[in-house]
């Protein structure tokens, strides 16, 4: 049973998340041969004030 975690900054719509889960599931089934029913996709929204690069919070950019 493949488990996939996608971490991304908050702000995507439910429609975008549905599409992401669909495409990730397709990619996993095509590359591993696992059935779609066995693929589990987790989406972790990261708050912009909890993530940063280049020494700066994303919420400050």
Q: Where are the beta strands (DSSP E) in 1-61?
A: 3-9, 40-46, 52-53, 56-57
**Interatomic CA distance for residues 23 and 2, integer angstroms:** 14
pLDDT tens string 3-46 = 999 999 999 999 999 999 999 999 999 999 999 999 999 999 99
Residue 61 has pLDDT above 90, yes or no: no
Tell me the CATH architecture of domain 3-56.
2-Layer Sandwich (3.30)
Q: What is the pTM of this model?
A: 0.85
Domain layout of the chain by residue ranges: 3-56
Residues carrying an active site annotation:
2
């Amino acid at each position: 049973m493949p488990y996939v975690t996608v971490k991304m900054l908050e702000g995507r719509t439910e429609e975008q998340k549905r599409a992401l889960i669909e495409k990730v599931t397709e990619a996993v089934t095509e590359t591993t041969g696992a059935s779609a029913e066995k693929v589990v996709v987790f989406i972790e929204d990261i708050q912009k004030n909890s993530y940063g690069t280049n020494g700066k919070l994303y919420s400050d950019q």
